[in-house]
Amino acid sequence: MVQQPRREDPLYSCIVPIDSITGNADEELTAFGISSEAAANQARQLLAQNYKCDRDRIEQLMQQATINNLAPWCASDPI
């Protein structure tokens, strides 16, 4: 199932490089949210739950993260 954002709803992605954790070159974790903070919080939760990162390690990884507004890119109609 593919979730399609509505035009008026913002959608943000938080991309965190995790190659230092997994050893796989260019591996990233991607989390989504309705705000940049929601996306970042989701990424923090995934790092803690899935990769067992402690608070310091999470903050180190989040310093390398990028957050993007995706809604304008994936809207079906031109804005």
- pLDDT at residue 73, rounded to an integer: 52
pLDDT-derived band at 71 (thresholds 50, 70, 90) equals low
Q: What is the pLDDT of residues 31-63, one digit of tens each?
A: 999 999 999 999 999 999 999 999 999 999 999
Residue 1 lies in a domain: no
Residue 5 lies in a domain: no
Count of domains for the chain = 1
> For residue 19, is pLDDT > 90?
yes
Residue 12 lies in a domain: no
Percent helix, strand and coil across the chain, each to the nearest 5: 40, 20, 40
Specify the pTM.
0.78
Residue 9 lies in a domain: no
Residue 45 lies in a domain: yes
> For residue 64, is pLDDT > 50?
yes
